[in-house]
Amino acid sequence: MISDTYLKWAVTVAFVVTAVFWVARAAARSASIAGRITGLLHVLMSLAMLTMVWSSLPGVSASVGMPVFGAAAVVFLGLLVTRREHRVENGYHALMMATMVWMYAVMDPSIVGGSQMQGGGGAMDMGGMTMPMSMPMTMTMRLPSWAGYVDLAVGLAYVALAATWVAYAYRAVAVSHHSRRLTGAMQAVMAVAMAVMFLSYTG
């Protein structure tokens, strides 16, 4: 999906950092049941995205990934409806899980109608002799144009959401709001990483 190696590593670091953060949040003694659920689902999301950073195909099939993240979206919608606090965050998290469902869908050519293309390998001509190249074969996906436009829209939406989270994190100046700042910063990091993934996979 991401062709630039440095950008791949940057996104990898981002998802590793967010996974560690949400593990810590879920494991904290003061965490509520809803907080633990939120943390664990974010860890699952970060790990799923890590499998996609270095591969054109997900490590888990769409038949598994789509129901899992669809259920996660329903969980956050349930939290949105039943809990008064953190409604904005729960709504945002539900949308994040829904975009994961879409990510799995576009990575499966049988769902959106894309096609797989092989790259690498080949041969090299040296003075009339054809020498086979030992480069490994890789698989890439070519999306239909409409799916690429959806990915573009989702990616740009994540850019806007990242900026919103940065503003949210740094509006508070009180020392007591350190937790809010850190959470907002981690949400922004994750949103930027998601934006990079979707914008790099527009077909």
**Residues 143 and 166: beta-carbon distance below 8 Å:** no
Cα first-last separation, the chain: 9
Cα–Cα distance for residue pair 98/95, rounded to 1 Å: 5
The pLDDT assigned to 131 comes to: 46
The pLDDT assigned to 94 comes to: 96
- For residue 129, the cross-strand partners are 126
The pLDDT assigned to 179 comes to: 77
Note the pTM of the prediction, 2 decimals: 0.81
Q: Which residue has the tokens 């989702």?
A: 154
- Going by the DSSP 8-state scheme, the letter that residue 176 receives in this structure is G
What are the backbone angles phi and psi of residue 167, rounded to the nearest 5°? -60, -40
The pLDDT assigned to 66 comes to: 93
- Going by the DSSP 8-state scheme, the letter that residue 126 receives in this structure is E
The pLDDT assigned to 173 comes to: 53
Cα–Cα distance for residue pair 11/59, rounded to 1 Å: 17
Residue pLDDT tens, the chain, 203 long: 688 889 999 999 999 999 999 999 999 888 889 889 999 999 999 999 998 888 765 556 888 899 999 999 999 999 999 887 788 899 999 999 999 999 998 888 778 765 555 544 444 444 555 444 444 444 556 777 888 899 999 999 999 999 999 888 777 555 457 777 888 899 999 999 999 999 988 76
